[in-house]
Structure 1
Amino acid sequence: MPIQLYYHPYSRAAGTLWALEEAGVAYDLVVTDILKGAQKGPDLVTRNPMGKLPTLVDGELVVSEAAAIALYLADRYAPGRLAPALDDPQRGTYLRWSLFAPSVIEPAVMAKGAGWEVKEMSAGWGRYDTMIASAESAIADRDFVLGSAFSMADVVFGGTLRFMMDFKQIEPTPTFTAYVQRLDARAAYQRANARNQAMRKELGLQ
Structure 2
Amino acid sequence: MPTLYHAPQSRSTSILVLIEEMGIAEHIDVIDVSVARQDGSGGPDPRNPHPEGKVPYLTDGKDHVRERGAIVAYLTDKFPEAGLGRPIEHPQRGAFLSWLFYYQGVMEPVLVLDWAKIDHPALRATFRDLETVFARLAEALDGQPYLLGEEYSAVDLLLSSPFQWLSDAMPEQPAIRAWIRRCADRPAFHAAMEREQAALRE
Asked if Structure 1 and Structure 2 have the same fold, meaning a TM-score greater than 0.5 normalized by the shorter chain, the answer is yes
Q: 1:163 to 1:91 in 2, by over 3 A?
A: farther
For 2:113 and 2:19, the matched residues in 1 are separated by 30
Q: Deviations along 1:159-204, whole A, 9 cap, x unmatched?
A: 2343333xx12335322221122112322222212211221222xx
Q: Once the 2 structures are TM-superposed, how far is the Cα of residue 122 of structure 1 from its aligned partner?
A: 6.7
Alignment check: 8 A CA contact 1:98 1:154 kept = no
Q: Secondary structure at the match of 2:104?
A: helix
Matched, 1:28 2:29: yes
What per-residue deviation string (whole Å, max 9, x for no partner) do you get for residues 54-107 of structure 1? Answer: 111223321111121112111111257122232223112211222222221221
Task: Verify: 1:8 aligned to 2:7, yes or no.
Answer: yes
Relative to 1, partners in 2 of residues 1:172 and 1:58: Cα closer, same or farther, differing over 3 Å?
farther
d(CA) in 2 for partners of 1:10, 1:75: 26
Rate the CA distance shift 1:160–1:114 in 2: closer, same or farther, 3 A: closer
Q: CA deviation at 1:110?
A: 2.2
Cα distance between partner residues in 1 of 2:117 and 2:53 = 27
Q: Distance in 2 between matches of 1:113 and 1:157?
A: 17
Q: Is the CA contact 1:94–1:145 (under 8 Å) kept in the aligned structure 2? A: no
Unaligned 5+ segments in structure 2 are: 36-40
User: Are 2:93 and 1:95 aligned?
Assistant: no
Deviations 1:131-166 (A, max 9, x none): 22112222222111110122111121122343333x
Question: Normalising by the residue count of structure 1, what TM-score does the alignment of the two structures yield?
Answer: 0.83
TM-score (norm 2): 0.84
Number of residue pairs matched? Answer: 195
Cα separation, 1, equivalents of 2:32 and 2:176: 32
Aligned mate of 2:152, from 141, 145, 150: 150
Q: Is the 8 A contact 1:15 1:159 kept in 2?
A: yes
Alignment partner, residue 113 of structure 2? 111
Q: Any unmatched runs of 5+ in structure 1?
A: none
CA-CA distance at 1:11 after TM superposition: 1.3
Given the alignment, which residue of 78, 81, 84 partners 2:83? Answer: 81
- Structure 1 80/190 Cα, relative in aligned 2: closer, same or farther at 3 Å? closer
Runs of 4+ in 1 over 4 A off after TM superposition: none
How far apart in 2 are the matches of 1:196 and 1:88? 34
Aligned-residue CA RMSD in angstroms?
2.2
| Partner amino acid, structure 2, of 1:176 | I
Alignment match, 2:44: 38
1:19 aligns with 2:44: no
SS in 2 for 1:5: strand
Identity across the alignment (%): 28
Aligned to 1:197, the other structure's residue is in SS state helix
* 8 Å contact kept, 2:80–2:87: no
> Out of 117, 122, 128, which is 1:126 matched to?
128
